[in-house]
């Protein structure tokens, strides 16, 4: 998502699920967040 763009609830849930799946597969949280285009601070 681009900075300042409104994110829908569905998009947020999809991004959180994407990060959850990737970390479950052994990917680091930093890389999973980068792939989802959000910061680690936003995830935490």
Question: 41 — phi, psi (to 5°)?
Answer: -65, -35
C-alpha 41/C-alpha 25 separation (Å) is 21
Q: Which residue has the tokens 């995830």?
A: 43
The end-to-end CA distance of the chain, in Å, is: 18
Confidence band, pLDDT 50/70/90 cuts, at residue 15: very high
pLDDT of residue 2: 61
Q: Would the pTM count as exceeding 0.75?
A: yes
Average pLDDT, the chain: 90
């Amino acid at each position: 998502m681009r900075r300042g763009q409104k994110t829908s609830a569905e998009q947020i849930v999809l991004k959180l699920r994407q990060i959850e799946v990737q970390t479950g597969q052994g990917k680091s949280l930093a890389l999973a967040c980068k792939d989802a285009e959000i910061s680690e601070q936003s995830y935490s």
